[in-house]
Structure 1
């Protein structure tokens, strides 16, 4: 298993319940795909560095996890089809 981290930004129009539900959904994708979530760090609502689709803020979340190499592809697919995700990135951590 390899170590990965993902940061995703959720749309600011979501309420706290919807933000938590989305974070749990993505954690579930990792855990159901055979991965292990090590850490979830909610950074809260922050201003974006630049405007994305007329949006200036978003809810940032960082998740550190261990998984096989196929899981990030599935997680990326889930991020792309979710309307609530503005931006995301998945990075393999160096040793």
Structure 2
């Protein structure tokens, strides 16, 4: 298994319950084929630039171990979710 890190930004206007559901959904996807090392919710922060007239976002950082197929599935789920503004998945073992 390889080490990965993902950072995703959720819409700031989501209700707390909906936001927690999304975070749990993404954690469940990771836990199917990998293991989560750490989840850090950074909270609402100002974006570096406006995205679709949105100036802030709710940041979540997740460190995990998984096989090489999992990041593709995770990115697919980020892409189809309307509540995810931006995301990135990074392989921490590549130099």
* Short-chain TM bin: over 0.9
- TM-score computed with the length of structure 1 as normaliser: 0.96
Aligned to 2:78: 79
**Structure 1 alignment gaps of length 5 or more:** none
Distance 1:38 1:94 in 2: 15
Aligned to 2:18: 18
Give the root-mean-square deviation of aligned CA atoms. Answer: 0.9
Aligned to 1:49: 48
Q: Secondary structure at the match of 1:14?
A: coil
> Once superposed, which parts of structure 1, at least 4 consecutive aligned residues long, lie more than 2 Å away?
none
**Structure 2 alignment gaps of length 5 or more:** none
- TM-score computed with the length of structure 2 as normaliser: 0.96
Q: Secondary structure at the match of 1:61?
A: strand
Aligned pairs, how many? 94
